[in-house]
Amino acid sequence: MKFLCRIIVFSFLFPLSSFLLTSCTQDAYEKGEGKYSLMWADFVEARANAQKEIDQITTDDGEQLSASKPFTAKLVVTPDSVYRCILYYNKVRAKTGQEVFEPISIGEVPCPKVTPLSELDKEMKTDPVKFESAWVSKSGKYLNMSLYLMTGTTEDEKARQTLHVIQDTIISHPDGTRTSHLRLYHDQAGVPEYYSTQVYVSILTSQISADSVRLTINTYKTPITKSFSLRYETNTH
Q: What is the pLDDT of residues 201-217, one digit of tens each?
A: 999 999 999 999 999 99
User: Is pLDDT at 12 greater than 60 in this prediction?
Assistant: no
Q: What confidence score (pLDDT) does residue 156 get?
A: 80
Residues 220 and 154 occupy one common structural domain? yes
Residues 126 and 67 occupy one common structural domain? no
**What is the domain count for the chain?**
2
Across the chain, what does the average pLDDT equal? 86
**Which of 143, 159, 154 has the alpha carbon at shortest distance from 217?**
143
Residue range 58-80: mean pLDDT, rounded: 96
Residues 84 and 190 occupy one common structural domain? no
In sequence order, what E strands does 10-161 have?
A: 22-23, 39-48, 54-59, 64-71, 81-93, 99-108, 114-116, 130-136, 142-151
Residue 127 or residue 155, greater confidence: 127
19 falls in which pLDDT band (50, 70, 90)?
very low
- In this prediction the pTM is 0.82
Model confidence pLDDT, tens digit, residues 119-148: 999 999 999 999 999 999 999 999 999 999
**Residue 55 belongs to domain spanning:** 2-108
Residues 8 and 66 occupy one common structural domain? yes
**Which of 36, 25, 201, 30 has the alpha carbon at shortest distance from 106?**
25
Sign of dihedral through CA atoms 232, 89, 70, 63? positive
Residues 89 and 124 occupy one common structural domain? no
185 falls in which pLDDT band (50, 70, 90)?
very high
User: Is pLDDT at 5 greater than 80 in this prediction?
Assistant: no
Q: Are 104 and 90 in contact (CB under 8 A)?
A: yes
Residues 131 and 96 occupy one common structural domain? no
User: Is pLDDT at 163 greater than 50 in this prediction?
Assistant: yes
